[in-house]
Amino acid sequence: MEILLTLADELHFGRAAQRLYVSTARVSQTIKKLEQRIGAPLFERTSRHVALTPIGRHLCDELRPAYQQIHAALDRATAAARGIHDVLRVGFVGAAAGPFVLEVAETFMADHPDCAVQVRENQFGEGLEPLRNREINMVLATLPVQEGDNAELAAGGVLFEEDRLLAVSSRHPFARRRSVPFADLARTKVLSTPSAVPSYWDQALVPAETADGRPVQRGPSFNTVQEMLTLVGAGIGTYPVPTQATTYYVRPDVAYVPITDVPPFQWRFVWLASAATARISAFDRAAAAFVAARAV
């Protein structure tokens, strides 16, 4: 059940295996055995794409509440036997993420009264340093997680998604458009991501070149969202942002234009793989349960 639901979340055999600390072959074999038992495919697979079949989606929808109930019972038993206590420090990046973390913390502490949750806003320019310095235990962000034996981070499932917008000066020619394709980023200057941000995160935010091979010119760097918006508003550069910016970062000198052909930002909790604890796992499951309950 755990392998099935994790693969349904990730839609990627490698990432599912990484989350479960098993081999990719183990995930594939388990799904094949389950499909043989049911008598129908649960996933559509190609070399580039994994998707749930209608039968697979229906099965996951029916199994997930029971799975979450089982985990909640195990969490309570573990808390009673070993004590999930002390303080869990949870970070977030972006204004909209703060209220979400606080709501999850409230439900988490109701189930784990011996564990206090401290919430902290991380600045984008800090990169992974708050995690590495143990200032926080986990962070809600759009940070992609590298795969492989040397992966530094572990992550929970995707909790919610937001479309990507391009923040531009209100005087920029793009500001008069309804949308822009990513290829048009080669026609403007994109601000440089803070140096503390890992290169693979920067590459996920702003690929080095467009699909037709044109380089994306980079401008000066920034450390905070407000610094970035100030540079954008002054016409010094542009930068991709999530949809929440249209609510939380409204400015007369900045316009937000949808980017039409890029995947959405995916928000999830990440933490150092070497520093995983029962508290972190329990909080991540509480977040997933909160999202599932709100979707009903």
Beta-strand (E) ranges in the chain?
Answer: 43-45, 50-52, 86-92, 115-121, 138-141, 153-155, 160-162, 164-169, 189-192, 217-221, 239-242, 254-258, 265-272
What per-residue confidence (pLDDT) applies to 21?
84
Q: Does domain 164-263 have CATH number 3.30.70.580?
A: no
The residue behind tokens 């949308």 is 179
Count CB-CB contacts under 10 A for residue 161. 14
238 and 185 in contact (C-beta within 8 Å)?
yes
What 3-state DSSP class applies to 245? helix
Spatial separation of the C-alpha atoms in residues 198 and 176, rounded to whole Å: 33
- 1-82 with 84-159+265-296: one CATH topology? no
What 3-state DSSP class applies to 138? strand
At the top level of CATH, the class of 1-82 is mainly alpha
CATH of 84-159+265-296, one of 3.40.50.720, 3.40.50.300, 3.40.190.10, 3.40.50.620: 3.40.190.10
Query: What CA–CA distances, in Å, run from 238 to 49, 226, 245?
Result: 31, 13, 14
The residue behind tokens 């531009």 is 168
What does the block give as tokens for 190?
A: 């994109």
- In sequence order, the 6+-apart residues with CB closer than 8 A to the CB of 179 are 257, 258, 259, 260
pTM: 0.69
- Rg (the chain; Cα; Å): 21
Spatial separation of the C-alpha atoms in residues 30 and 42, rounded to whole Å: 12
CB under 8 A, 24+ apart: contacts of 65-69: 65/292, 67/1, 67/2, 67/5, 68/285, 68/288, 68/289, 68/292
Query: What CA–CA distances, in Å, run from 185 to 15, 73, 135?
Result: 30, 50, 36
Spatial separation of the C-alpha atoms in residues 279 and 105, rounded to whole Å: 12
Spatial separation of the C-alpha atoms in residues 264 and 295, rounded to whole Å: 19
pLDDT per residue rounded down to tens, the chain (296 residues): 989 998 988 888 888 888 888 899 999 999 999 999 999 999 999 877 899 999 999 999 899 888 878 877 776 666 555 555 678 999 998 888 889 999 999 999 988 888 889 999 888 888 888 998 889 999 999 888 765 545 788 999 999 999 999 999 999 999 999 999 999 999 999 999 988 888 888 888 898 988 888 999 999 999 889 999 999 999 999 999 999 999 999 999 999 999 998 899 999 999 998 888 888 999 999 999 999 988 76
What 3-state DSSP class applies to 240? strand
Give me the residue spans of the domains in the chain.
1-82, 84-159+265-296, 164-263
The torsion region of residue 230 among left (phi > 0), alpha (psi -120 to 50) and beta comes to alpha
**Cα 291 vs. chain centroid, distance in angstroms?**
13
What per-residue confidence (pLDDT) applies to 166?
96
What per-residue confidence (pLDDT) applies to 84?
53
The residue behind tokens 């070399």 is 47
203 and 262 in contact (C-beta within 8 Å)?
no
